[in-house]
Amino acid sequence: MNQADIGLIGLAVMGENLVLNMASHGIHVAVYNRTTSRVDEFLSGRAQGQPISGVYSLSELISKLKKPRRVMLMVQAGSAVDSVIEELIPLLDNGDIIIDGGNSNYRDTIRRTTDLNKKNLLFIGTGVSGGEEGALKGPSIMPGGNSKAWPFVRDIFQSIAAKVETGDPCCEWVGDGGAGHYVKMIHNGIEYGDMQMICEAYHILRQIISMEPDEMANVFSNWNKSELDSYLIEITADILNKKDEESGKPMIDLILDTAGQKGTGKWTGIDALQLGAVATAITEAVYSRSLSALKEERVAASKILNGPQYQPFNGDRDGFVDDVKNALFASKICSYAQGFQLLSMAAAENGWSLNYGNIALMWRGGCIIRAQFLDRIKDAFEKDNQLPNLLVAPYFQQAIENAQNSWRNVITTAVTHGVPVPAFSSALAYFDGYRSAQLPANLLQAQRDYFGAHTYERSDKERGKFFHTNWTGQGGDTASSAYNV
């Protein structure tokens, strides 16, 4: 019987919870998993009493679906997605829809959209954010791919997505090809930056003013009532409050300070470098994880390499805590400014027409970077979708103006005390660079012309005219056009 509204392949943590979310909205789902015992476990467990049918082969799955058929993959990103698609192709008819909801690389999504379009199949590559809980209760969903498929999945996606206070779903069509997965990648990159900045605030409070976890938990709870209101600040307060059941010690003090990094932060950094975009908040966050991973080396080095001699902090403690809050907010603004600038450069490169206000709305609920201040970003881009940089939008201009002295004070204090604050300080360097009419690239261009005859433009001549100087009197007057440094 053709009865199910959608088929879902991959009953791991994300797939299972998405299916339960769909079922709770009255959507009938047929489910399949490669290891079919998972289907039985699911049916006899969490799926009981729900509009969920289990199947044991892909052909059985397809036979259960209404037309045009909608098949969603929640399998491991990479080759598994391609192999499932290959198996599905002969089973599907023209106009049927394949949706990949995993964390796929956007370049794979561009390729899959094109290849399947040639076979008259419609492909959607969608970011799904919010982890296990989001998948169950309402994730942020960022779909892109073949826009002809959107009318057929819109109702399902928007009904299961998180909703903001106005009732708007955190799901809108993002754009062609890999646009949805690109936006999800940037979301994850920004998440890296947010987490690193929160860690730096924690480290400053701990190292410079010797704050205990309990006290810090209160600080983060208070910050969560301010413009910093966000999921990540909220969970940080919870984490700092948590005690180890055995020892009664704060959990945070028992967790080893070494982190790994999976794909998406690194992908974002690589893509920023390839596009010539500045994404230092994200790359500093990736590098910080890499440095943290060198635990044994750091422990050995700590016994040899001395930091500065300084007096213990004896200033205004509450005032300093406020400064840290302002520094965190200003750094966060720079990180989002970079993220959105990267999006606009990728849009130009890939021919996507992105609505940045909608993207801010999609990140407003359900996902890990959900935060009140995304409303401000949405407002800024709704006023001007071509805004060159968030920093020049009036709200953010004023916010940084207000935070600036605190921000500089915190970074100066951290540097004086030898406490590393790579994301805070690179964000400030970005701000100072972006607001500088004059940077030292004139000297850089002279150096490049000196050793490689790369030519330069002149400040007293029109743009686009290139000059070469014979700096030593020995190099000749021929300019280089091929050798790039």
The whole-angstrom distance between residue 205's C-alpha and the CA centroid of its chain comes to 26
Q: Is 476 helix (H, G, I), strand (E, B) or coil?
A: coil
- Region 415-474 residues binding ligand NBP, contact defined as CB under 6 A: none
**Smallest gap from residue 260 Cβ to ligand NBP (A):** 15
CB 321 within 8 A of CB 315: no
Q: According to CB under 6 A, which one of 21, 23, 29, 38 is a site residue for ligand NBP?
A: 38
Q: Which stretch binds ligand NBP (CB under 6 A): 73-81, 151-159, 229-237, 467-475?
A: 73-81
Cβ burial of 1 (10 Å; 0-12, 13-18, 19+) is exposed
**Smallest gap from residue 21 Cβ to ligand NBP (A):** 13
**Smallest gap from residue 102 Cβ to ligand NBP (A):** 2
Q: How far apart are CA 51 and CA 483, in angstroms?
A: 64
The long-range contacts involving 164-172, CB below 8 angstroms and separated by at least 24 positions, are: 164/361, 164/364, 164/365, 168/361, 170/138, 170/139, 170/140, 170/141, 170/361, 170/362, 170/363, 170/364, 170/365, 170/366, 170/367, 171/140, 171/141, 171/142, 171/143, 171/362, 172/355, 172/358, 172/361, 172/362
Q: Is 138 helix (H, G, I), strand (E, B) or coil?
A: coil
As given in the structure block, the two tokens for residue 476 are 């000749």
The long-range contacts involving 272-275, CB below 8 angstroms and separated by at least 24 positions, are: 272/338, 272/342, 275/342, 275/345, 275/346, 275/349
**Smallest gap from residue 403 Cβ to ligand NBP (A):** 32
**Is 401 annotated in the active site?**
no
> Does 413 contact ligand NBP by CB under 6 A?
no
> Does 37 contact ligand NBP by CB under 6 A?
no
The angle formed by the CA atoms of residues 268, 271 and 273, to the nearest 5 degrees, is 110
Residues with Cβ within 8 Å of residue 21, at least 6 apart in sequence: 135, 136, 137, 138, 139, 160
> Does 35 contact ligand NBP by CB under 6 A?
yes
**Smallest gap from residue 33 Cβ to ligand NBP (A):** 5
In DSSP terms, 72 is beta-bridged to 8, 99
> Does 367 contact ligand NBP by CB under 6 A?
no
Nearer to ligand NBP, 127 or 169 (CB): 127
Q: Which stretch binds ligand NBP (CB under 6 A): 19-27, 110-118, 125-133, 289-297?
A: 125-133
Q: Which stretch binds ligand NBP (CB under 6 A): 13-21, 47-55, 60-68, 346-354?
A: 13-21
> Does 10 contact ligand NBP by CB under 6 A?
yes
**Is 191 annotated in the active site?**
yes
Spatial CA neighbour of 88 closest among 142, 9, 156: 9
Amino acid making up residue 94: N
Q: How far apart are CA 363 and CA 184, in angstroms?
A: 9
Q: Which stretch binds ligand NBP (CB under 6 A): 68-76, 229-237, 270-278, 330-338?
A: 68-76
Q: According to CB under 6 A, which one of 21, 103, 230, 426 is a site residue for ligand NBP?
A: 103
Q: Which stretch binds ligand NBP (CB under 6 A): 70-78, 109-117, 319-327, 329-337?
A: 70-78
Binding mask 80-99 for ligand NBP (x = CB under 6 A): x--xx---------------
Applying CB under 6 A, what is the total number of residues that bind ligand NBP? 23
Q: Which stretch binds ligand NBP (CB under 6 A): 32-40, 212-220, 340-348, 429-437?
A: 32-40
The CB density around residue 14, as the number of other CB atoms within 10 Å, is 23
Nearer to ligand NBP, 136 or 393 (CB): 136
Spatial CA neighbour of 290 closest among 206, 196, 197: 196
**Smallest gap from residue 12 Cβ to ligand NBP (A):** 3
Nearer to ligand NBP, 10 or 177 (CB): 10
Catalytic residue among 16, 191, 200, 227: 191
Q: Over the Cα atoms of the chain, what is R_g?
A: 26
> Does 18 contact ligand NBP by CB under 6 A?
no
**Smallest gap from residue 224 Cβ to ligand NBP (A):** 23
Which residue shows structure tokens 């919010």? Answer: 130
Q: According to CB under 6 A, which one of 5, 24, 28, 34 is a site residue for ligand NBP?
A: 34
**Smallest gap from residue 187 Cβ to ligand NBP (A):** 10
Nearer to ligand NBP, 193 or 250 (CB): 193
As given in the structure block, the two tokens for residue 332 are 């966060």
Catalytic residue among 16, 64, 172, 184: 184
> Does 30 contact ligand NBP by CB under 6 A?
no
> Does 128 contact ligand NBP by CB under 6 A?
yes
As given in the structure block, the two tokens for residue 346 are 């990728």
In DSSP terms, 175 is beta-bridged to 144
Nearer to ligand NBP, 14 or 324 (CB): 14
The CB density around residue 140, as the number of other CB atoms within 10 Å, is 27
Nearer to ligand NBP, 29 or 74 (CB): 74
As given in the structure block, the two tokens for residue 172 are 């809108």
Q: According to CB under 6 A, which one of 43, 77, 237, 293 is a site residue for ligand NBP?
A: 77
Footprint on this chain of ligand NBP (rule: CB under 6 A): 10-15, 33-35, 38, 74-77, 80, 83-84, 102-103, 128-129, 131-132
Task: Point out the residues that are catalytic.
Answer: 184, 191
